[in-house]
Amino acid sequence: MKDPQTEVFNGVTFKTKRPPNGKPKAILVMIHGWTGSETSTWILTEGLSEDFMIIAPRGFHKVDNHSGYGWADVSLPQDELWEEYQRSTHTLFTWLMAFLVDNDLVDLPLLLGGFSQGAMISYYLMLLYPGRFRLASCLAGAIMPQAETLITPERVRNARFYIAHGTRDKIIPVHRARRAVQLLQQAGADVTYCESDIGHKASPECYANLIRFLNNSLD
C-alpha cells in the first residue's frame, strides 16, 4: 500500500492511503479519539489488505491548550454533548459523501473504524445512516444514553459491528461497551466482541481479531 498522504478537501484535513494498483475494493474511514488527529489511527492499519483505501479525517473541534482535535467537547453537559456529537456526525457524513462523489468512489463499500470518541462517532454514523456503511469497528468506545433509542431492528438488522474494550479502562468503563453489545444484539445486529484485561487501548489479541474481521469483509 502506498504511504499515507495528507490532503485537504472542502476545508477538512485528512490522511489517505490508496491501493498501489487499481481501484480499491472498499473504503475504510478511520476516526480518531479525543486529542487525536488524522495521524493517530495509522497504528491500527498494520496488516490490512492493500485492497482497502483508507481515509482518516481530522476532528472538527480543536482541543484547548492541546495540539490535538476531537469531535465533541467532552466538557459540555450531557444533552449539549449529544447535540454536538450529532452535528459532527452529520458534518462528517456530508463531507465524506462529497469526497466520494468528487473522486468517483461513491459505489464502493464503506467501512468504519474508530477509537474512543472516534468509536462513538462510528456508532452514530451506523445508527443515523442505516445501510450506508457495511460495518463498524469500535474500539474503547460507547453509545450515549440519549442515542440508545436509535438502536432499533429497522436500523441495525443488517449491521455488523466489531467491538473491543478493556476491563481496566478508566476513561470509558467496560460496562458501557457491554451495554452497547447487549442493545445491538437484542435489536438484531451482528456483533463480534473482544474483551481484554487492559486499559483504554486495544490488546494484541483484539487488534489481531480486528484485522481479520476487516480483511474478511472483503470476501
- Domains of the chain by start residue, with CATH: 5-216 (3.40.50.1820)
Give the DSSP H/E element, type plus range, for residue 190.
strand 190-196
- CA count, 13 A, side-chain hemisphere, 80: 5
Per-residue pLDDT of the chain in tens (219 residues, 90 and over written 9):
457 899 999 999 999 999 988 889 999 999 999 999 999 988 888 899 999 999 999 999 999 989 999 999 999 999 999 999 999 999 999 999 999 999 999 999 999 999 999 999 999 999 999 999 999 999 999 999 999 999 999 999 999 999 999 999 999 999 999 999 999 999 999 999 999 999 999 999 999 999 999 999 998
3-state secondary structure of 184: helix
Residues contacting 90, CB < 8 A, separation 6+: 128
pTM comes to 0.96
